[in-house]
Amino acid sequence: MTRIVVLNGPNLGRLGSRDPEVYGHATLSDIHATLDAQCPAGVSCEVRQTDSEAELISWLHEAIDTGSPVILNPAAFTHYSYALRDAAEMVTQAGLPLIEIHLSNPHQRESFRRQSVISAVATGVIAGFGADSYILALQQITRMAGN
């Protein structure tokens, strides 16, 4: 069984009511249900969200220790968290895929969102497709994991 961890940073627990013109109407549990429905046989998706940088970093450490591929929406940490960047780098250095995702396309938004400190250490980046960014990442990461 391949276990994929889908990690979400700050404020993503408010999806559904948070700025729906930008982030859509789906809640994180809606997204979790869709991921579960699309998961190929032999793959499980564990979706987690935290507003805490320390907790998000500890989940990346855990992914390394359990050999779990990672789908990561770092939310606002994307733009400035060098600590998260270093943890993400350890994931890819351990030979595990880490796909950075965003619901919105940060490049179409405020200038501070155009910088990602994570992208350079991610395996790849998917952004701008709303909740489908998660599905596209799942498809790619399961392909990479050989499922």
Q: Give residues in contact with ligand DQA (CB under 6 A).
A: 11, 73, 75-76, 78, 102-104, 106, 113
Q: Are the beta carbons of 56 and 84 closer than 8 angstroms?
A: yes
How near is the Cβ of 41 to ligand DQA at its closest, in Å?
29
CB of 102 to ligand DQA, least distance (A): 4
Q: Measuring CA to CA, how many Å separate 40 from each of 5, 105, 106, 145, 146?
A: 15, 27, 30, 11, 11
Q: Using the minimum distance from each CB to ligand DQA, give the nearer residue, 22 or 54.
A: 22
CA–CA distances in Å: residue 96 to residues 13, 39, 64, 74 = 26, 18, 8, 17
CA distance linking residue 98 with residue 89, whole number of Å: 9
Closest contact distance (angstroms) between CB of 16 and ligand DQA is: 13
Annotated catalytic residue, options 79, 102, 107, 134: 102
Q: Is 82 one of the catalytic residues?
A: no
Q: 61 an active-site residue?
A: no
Catalytic residues: 23, 102
